[in-house]
Amino acid sequence: MQLLSFACLGGLLLLLGSASSERILDELRSVTFVNADTLQTLTNSESLSLVFFLRGVTTDNSFFLKEYDTSAERLKAYDITLALFDCTNAKDREASCTKDDIDTSVFSYRKGMSLISVKVEHLFDVDSIMAHALQLLMLHEVPIIESMPERIELEQSQVGNKDVIFIYTDVIGTREHRIFMEVAYAYQDKFSFALTTDRTLILGLQAIEETSSGYESGLWVLFCSQMRKDEFLKNGHCEHTMYRGKPTLFSLAKFVGNLQEKSVFYAPEDGVASVFEMSSDDPIVYVYAKPDQKEKTTEIMNAIANDLRGSAKLVIVDMENSDCQSAANQQGYTGAGSGIGLKTNNGTMHFLDPKDWNESGVKDFLQPHIFPDWKSEELHPSSLATSQNNIKSLIDAVETQDDQVASAVYSVQKKEMAGLELVPELFTDNFHRTIRRSPLLLILFYGPLHHLSLAFLRDFGVAAQTLANNYSAPNALARVNCFDANDLCSAENVTTYPTVRIYRQNPASYETYKESLDALAVARTTKLLQLNGPLLLTREEEVEKFSQGQHPTDFSKFSSSSVVLLTTDSTSGDSAMFQALSGPMCQVTALAVVHPSIVPQIAQKYETKVPSLLAFNREDTVKPLRSMSLNDGDKTAADLTAFIRAATIPFVPELGPENFPHLYARHQPMAVLFLDGSDVETKDAVLASFSSISTSDQFPATVFCWMDAQVKTLGLEILSEYTETVELPMVSVVKHRQGQVFNFQPKSQHCASTDPIQVDALAAWLQQVLSGRASPSKILEQGEWGPPGPYYNFLEFQQNAVERLSQTSFTDGAEDDESERFEDGSEVEEEVRRMLLELHRSARSVQEPHKLDIPGEQRTVQDIPGEQRTVQDIPGEQRTVQDIPGEQRTVQDTPADHGHIEL
């Protein structure tokens, strides 16, 4: 009986084991199952395949099978097949299944050839499986360096050709190795990549001081493309810098992408306004160079220039130039000698203490702003002595969710971008020709790994689709991918992504688009520009129709405002000022000039003086007609600009993401009425009372607006930040510059339907607040309302229901949380991976890889098909080149931003 029980128990265990094995195999969704018939077809394929011969599911290999399956899904994008041959299936017996230890390795094949095998014990997770597979795929493109002569030979082969991205990792198959290989796959046409597991081969490269935490990996960029052979033979190595960014796929991909872009700018040569107004995801370092400190300034710049590449932009400011001096002073620089300023990605400026004006002081100042995730150990050239010990790891072995920027990349890429088929891509060979053939062309210059570029690219496509579906005008949008057309973006001096330029048949002349980065704004601006304003209105009927948005065509669908100039003297200063502003302001609204012969009649009809500006807003129920007298002659261009822009917004608007940046830019206190939008009758009465104060001329320097604050609205969320007790209606005055909030709560027992917000009491309270005689109800945290960049901080506030990926600081010894690595962060990483694959495909479609110009060498360039020219790049010298027949342009060959910098 006992023996029978043991037999039954053994049978049950076998049955359970078999069921468990079948369940695990059934759960494999991405692995390709092969048999004796299909194995040969797979191994003969042009693409790489890896095969695991399974002799049975065990506790030892069950985890491996799940990781193998996950890797199979991700590696399909690289045309790599992970296959499984089930040796337990009697029908599919294969000779290999009988070999000893066949199930302890994974075998690789390509074009009928057996390559190498990898022990399963080395394929312990998705990272290691993908890293090994990609290394096999690119064994020639990413060589494994095993000796110092090999490293020297690699550097020498790339002198004057490509920069080398070189990684050390203590073992093959780490997460850092996998990330490196994915980036190498995308950028292999732009850079040379190599890997070593021998720590002695980082001799001469920057390393960090030894610590007890161990040294697992490090990555360096060797700037070989900028060197000449004689310089290399003299120095024995290429100049280099160490990567000090986050250990994520997005961060490394962004860093490598940045290496291709122009990173050093000169003022005034590159345009004073351009470099001082430049914005970037990365910090911008300004070196204010005084001529009497040239030698020391040059020494400091050359010490930091390479370290900044890929992580920051560098601007050399000639402080001997008066325009540069003025711009630097406006920026906040007050130093008497040379100095350093740093602009963060939210526009905040930081300045180096003059007493720290030396190499170490400058590096200490820049480090926390440019490399915030980097530990502050000293960088030094490694030696053979230190190479025998473990030192601090560059990249911690912790995968984290990417930061807010990566989250933005993911969120804008989740859906296919509609309308881009209507936005042609431009390259060097068709750029000028396309512009010359187009009466109007808005060209978007963007970076494919730049989060704001990708968000705007989607909207740019939607704008093209909107224009095509609703208007019969010819297409007026085009785009330039500055990864694919790097030479074109450099030639056009595009320094910021995204940039939209407006051309009218002349490649040498353009305006810069400065409106909101959304589809509606692009479509509206395009239609406004197609009006070719400012128009000349010669009849009263034309003025009437223009004010209604009906002349010369119906533009009321995309613009609610119109602005006209009334003047009897077309040569006056006001008229000239209006004409000068018409370029940028025609992007904002419809502009027109009334013919002097009918100005008196129009002025009388609208009860205004001459000269003056008249603004019509067809959506404004409070003040649909506004005027600004120009009779005193004291109005500036800024005054006219502010009036025209204000005309596009109702006098008492509902506060929202579209108008907030413009209202905030007025730098005036903001009086916000919070009300219950669900109670229509009360809402209208409250708004009417509130609007009566705004039109009373008592508070001309105050912005009046309102928000719906009923349950689950943005208005209620904002009001809850201003007060702990919410009772509607309520008025808050916000002084953003001071971070002060003042709250006014009408007393409910005195509220009558004719005066729901107590107009007199509210007006008296406003007088106290605006004159500084009232105490604030709350002090906002510093920077809470200051937008970090144009037009999108408020959008983020509205989208806070969307879950953001948090930033995680990296610490020594942090645990490797598998679920965080591959589940929570996988969506972001998948999107970055998809973009890298797109870069790889687009790079392969380009005939010639971009070659950096080396000062002093000759190069042959081609501006139009069939026409070549040879030019010589000489630093500091001018040259005249001809791009199109009969058209010449003079360009300045500034020193290359890759080598030593001279003032």
Query: What pLDDT score does 884 carry?
Result: 36
- 785 has pLDDT over 60: no
Q: Rounded to an integer, what distance in angstroms lies between the CA atom of residue 520 and that of residue 462?
A: 9
- C-beta separation of 369 from 344 below 8 A: yes
- C-beta separation of 463 from 519 below 8 A: yes
Sequence-separated (6 or more) residues with CB below 8 Å from residue 449: 250, 253, 254, 257, 409, 483, 832, 835, 839
> pLDDT exceeding 90 applies to what percent of the chain?
42
In this structure, the dihedral spanned by the alpha carbons of residues 300, 302, 306 and 307, taken in order and rounded to 10 degrees, is -10
Residues 222-243 have a mean pLDDT of 89
Across the chain, what does the average pLDDT equal? 79
Query: What pLDDT score does 781 carry?
Result: 67
What tens digit of pLDDT does each residue of 319-359 get?
Answer: 999 999 999 998 999 888 889 999 988 888 999 988 888 88
What tens digit of pLDDT does each residue of 735-759 get?
Answer: 988 889 999 988 654 444 566 788 8
Kindly report the three-state secondary structure assignment for every residue of 358-377: CHHHHHHHHHHHHCCCCCCC
Selection from 241, 382, 395 nearest residue 312 by Cα: 241
What tens digit of pLDDT does each residue of 290-319 get?
Answer: 888 888 888 888 888 888 999 999 999 999
DSSP conformation letters of 8-35: HHHHHHHHHHHHHHHHHHHT--SSEEE-
Class of domain 532-649: alpha beta
- 400 has pLDDT over 60: no
Query: What pLDDT score does 375 carry?
Result: 61
What residue segments make up the domains of the chain, in order of their start? 21-124, 140-258, 261-371, 415-525, 532-649, 659-746+757-778
Kindly report the backbone phi and psi dihedral angles of residue 731, in degrees, each rounded to the nearest multiple of 5, phi listed first: -115, 130
Class of domain 21-124: alpha beta
Q: Rounded to an integer, what distance in angstroms lies between the CA atom of residue 76 and that of residue 65?
A: 17
Domains 21-124 and 140-258 are alike in CATH topology: yes
Query: What pLDDT score does 473 carry?
Result: 66
Query: What pLDDT score does 648 carry?
Result: 93
Q: Rounded to an integer, what distance in angstroms lies between the CA atom of residue 138 and that of residue 161?
A: 20
Query: What pLDDT score does 860 carry?
Result: 40
Residues 243-248 have a mean pLDDT of 87
Respond yes or no on whether the N-terminal peptide bond of residue 474 is cis (omega within 30° of 0).
no
Which stretches does DSSP call E strand in 611-708? 612-617, 625-629, 670-675, 703-708
The CATH superfamily label for domain 140-258 reads: Glutaredoxin (3.40.30.10)
Q: Which CATH number does the domain 659-746+757-778 belong to among 3.20.20.80, 3.40.50.10490, 3.30.1360.10, 3.40.30.10?
A: 3.40.30.10
- C-beta separation of 362 from 798 below 8 A: no
* Pairing, β 441-446 against β 477-481: parallel
* Listed range (250-254, 559-563, 629-633, 895-899) with the worst mean pLDDT: 895-899
Residues 592-603 have a mean pLDDT of 94
Most confident range, picked from 90-99, 247-256, 596-605, 853-862: 596-605
What tens digit of pLDDT does each residue of 525-568 get?
Answer: 999 999 998 999 999 999 999 999 999 988 988 899 999 999 99
- C-beta separation of 240 from 206 below 8 A: yes
CATH 3.40.50.300 describes domain 261-371? no
Q: Which CATH number does the domain 415-525 belong to among 3.40.640.10, 3.30.300.20, 3.90.1150.10, 3.40.30.10?
A: 3.40.30.10
- 849 has pLDDT over 70: no
Query: What pLDDT score does 625 carry?
Result: 95
- C-beta separation of 50 from 83 below 8 A: yes
